[in-house]
Structure 1
């Protein structure tokens, strides 16, 4: 774990057509070989599009990997979802903000250990609606398969390495 000075980062997910999706602010905790780690304490807020903000009742950390088609959220216990990975376009950093297009597929591990790919129906629907190019479809499907294997086998950062980062925001 390599810590850097803390700074506020705006995290913005869009849909593939550029429409605003989930967005929030997080604190940059640092980075390591897996990517940049952002922290959100309990009480942090997020918004979906222009809907009213929601307030989280638990702490979590967000991992923004380098050159990968996913991001990962690691939730503090007792939240029932331990790991939630959004399949997305490769995150782009600019001026204190990270942006990526959410590609609908999610890889989820519940605290009890069940692991599954979620929202395959949305992916199929949006693939047509937004006209995902073949390389986007292939990259998204490959990322979901890789995450299922990596999380299932406990490959870091999914094996518990995220707990150190999470301890910084509890």
Structure 2
């Protein structure tokens, strides 16, 4: 399986969360990347290294304003969706997108939450998000809240075969 550098930036181009991941496959939902427990995840250019405490897979959908991480056992949440600009693949070994702050989470107990709305509002001013970026981010968050809650599309278990590939 090929290695892919998965990188989120902020709207000003600064590096945000990034990691190396394994390309696990592609289906009608998009490209699936994965990391085992212990995968190194970094934030920005800091020397601080975080090691994933559980296996996870990340769905990079085709031409959508979000990505989704599906976490293995031990995580506080089952699903963590980042509202982000559509992914760009400069080459097969790199994918990048702009993190737009809003997150949709499904917790282990089934609750579905919208997180970081305050950060989204603050960054609309700080980074001067254009109106179309705001509209696409808000529409994606609304769609994700429903789809994740109702377990529609990739949120109904499509991740399970991929998660098995990176789990112990």
TM-score bracket relative to the smaller structure: over 0.9
CA displacement, residues 95-151 of structure 1 (integer Å, 9 cap, x when unaligned) = 210000000000000011010100000000000000000000000000000000111
Cα distance in 1 for partners of 2:135, 2:157 equals 29
Confirm whether residue 122 of structure 1 aligns to residue 119 of structure 2: yes
Q: Measure how far apart 1:78 and its partner are.
A: 2.5
* Aligned residue number for residue 148 of structure 1: 145
2:130, 2:157 → 1: CA distance? 35
Unaligned runs of 5+ in 1: 1-5
Supply the distance in 1 between the matched residues of 2:162 and 2:38 (Cα, whole angstroms): 18
Aligned runs of 1:1-170 on 2, under 5 Å? 6-51=1-46, 52-95=48-91, 96-170=93-167
Alpha-carbon RMSD: 0.7
Give the total of aligned pairs. 165
Q: Secondary structure at the match of 1:23?
A: strand
Instruction: Could you list the structure 1 runs, at least 4 aligned residues long, displaced by more than 6 angstroms after superposition.
Output: none
Asked if structure 1 preserves the Cα contact closer than 8 Å seen for 2:53 and 2:74, the reply is: no
State the TM-score, normalized to the length of structure 2.
0.97
Instruction: Structure 2: give runs of 5+ residues left out of the alignment.
Output: none
Distance 1:110 1:99 in 2: 26
Q: Secondary structure at the match of 1:67?
A: coil
What is the TM-score with the length of structure 1 in the denominator? 0.95
